[in-house]
Amino acid sequence: MQLYKNNPEYFGDFRKQVLAKTIPLMLGAVLVGLTIAYFSENSTEAGIQSTLVYTFIIVAYFTYSFFRGSKRQRTIFDSYQLIIGDDYLQRKQSSLADKTISFNAVNSITEDKRRNLYIRGASKEDLIYIYSYVEDYEEIRAILQSIKPITTEGPKGFLQKYSTAFILAILGLMATVYIVNNKIVVSIAGVLLIATLIWCFYKIRTSTFFDEKIKRSAWFVFFLIFCIALSMYFKLFVNFK
């Protein structure tokens, strides 16, 4: 049995990759939140003051989340372990269920442009990823090559390729529900948004690629759904202008 871990020297590169994905989404969420707050107050002087308060709260929250997330990223990076046994591959990582794939069950091994490796088994959930930051990368690559030829990663799935655009679209639908005063537009945007949030909740809760903390946080989706449904109700049936 051989055990491999991530090389601590590459944590900075790993962190940059994570930030490159999360910062645009955080900024998008802040922009949408402030837009909703501003227009909800009818763009008055009081509305501007309220927006400034919301701005302070949102910035403080994301600053706190940023520094807290930095510690979590370190834990995730340092806890990664790849075990290569006599006839199996196993990935261990903090807060994630262990993932094991036997050599005979390996369906494909692909490599992306950053040299990260992906070992896929019979089902979509049978996936072991190997960061390019792992120690003895070339040794691991040679072992995997002997199990199954490594190929270049093919075209990504729609959601994987456009994940950022997908999340921004959700934020856009949310802004539409709260800002627009057209019954038809609000109805369509609201139904699409609620359906999408329920689908996201299901995918997160049933996936083995998310840790327990994220799965627990996913229940917050139903609070969002309640707020969205309440906003739709008042706009469509109570005080629609």
Q: Tens digits of per-residue pLDDT, 178-205?
A: 888 888 999 999 999 999 999 988 888 8
Write the CB contacts of 152 (distance below 8 Å, at least 6 apart in sequence).
110, 111
Residues 117 and 35 in one domain: yes
Residues 159 and 148 in one domain: no
pTM passes above 0.85: no
Orientation of helix 163-179 relative to helix 221-233, angle to 10°: 40
Give me the pLDDT at residue 216, please.
82
Question: At which of 134, 154, 174 does a domain end?
Answer: 154
> Distance (Å, rounded) from C-alpha 134 to C-alpha 219?
34
Residue 134 contacts residue 140 (beta carbons within 8 Å): yes
Residues 52 and 79 in one domain: yes
Question: At which of 129, 154, 179 does a domain end?
Answer: 154
Residues 80 and 119 in one domain: yes
Give me the pLDDT at residue 73, please.
79
Give me the pLDDT at residue 239, please.
62
The CATH number given to whatever domain includes residue 69 is 2.30.29.30
Residues 20 and 104 in one domain: yes
Residues 126 and 206 in one domain: no
Full residue range of the structural domain in which residue 21 is found: 1-154
Give me the pLDDT at residue 119, please.
92
Residues 126 and 52 in one domain: yes
Residues 232 and 116 in one domain: no
Question: At which of 154, 179, 204 does a domain end?
Answer: 154
Give me the pLDDT at residue 101, please.
92
Residues 104 and 34 in one domain: yes
Spans in the chain with pLDDT lower than 70: 37-38, 40-59, 61-69, 153-162, 239-241
Residues 142 and 221 in one domain: no
Residues 27 and 104 in one domain: yes
Give me the pLDDT at residue 51, please.
59
> Distance (Å, rounded) from C-alpha 78 to C-alpha 51?
40
